[in-house]
Amino acid sequence: MVEGNTHVRIMNELEPVYLNLTAHCKSKDDDIGTKVVGYGEWFEFDFKPNIWGTTLFFCSMSWDQATPPRYFDIYRSSRDKDRGSLCWWMIKVDGPCMLNWKTRDFDICYPWKNT
């Protein structure tokens, strides 16, 4: 059963040249909008997962004009529902890494999705 809100934080850690991250996140029903995030900064949003366990928020992310946008499911109930209500992500050039609350490190890393 769904209890409360889930909180997503997306942090820009694009190294080595400290680029701005442009992220556009949305679900089937909600559009968070486009956010431009400086290096070392973050943005956040909250939502209540649905009772069916099918909530999905996906993002396109880009950081320079020469590189095509990257895509990732920033929240997928089937993957994230048992990790708690705080989903903190560090965005790197190689892909997003989620904070592992047990190790206190961003060591749950994924590749970008193929389009």
CATH number at residue 55: 2.60.40.10
Pairing of strands 31-37, 70-76: unpaired
Q: What is the pLDDT of residues 27-60, one digit of tens each?
A: 999 999 999 999 999 999 999 999 999 999 999 9
Can you tell me the distance from the alpha carbon of 9 to that of 107, in angstroms, rounded to the nearest whole number?
16
- Side-chain half-sphere CA neighbours of 84 within 13 A: 8
Q: In 3D, which of 3, 83, 98 has the Cα closest to residue 50?
A: 3
Residue 79 lies in a domain: yes
Domain contains 114:
no
Q: Give the range of the structural domain holding residue 101, as residue numbers without chain letter.
A: 6-109
pTM: 0.91
Q: What is the count of structural domains for the chain? A: 1
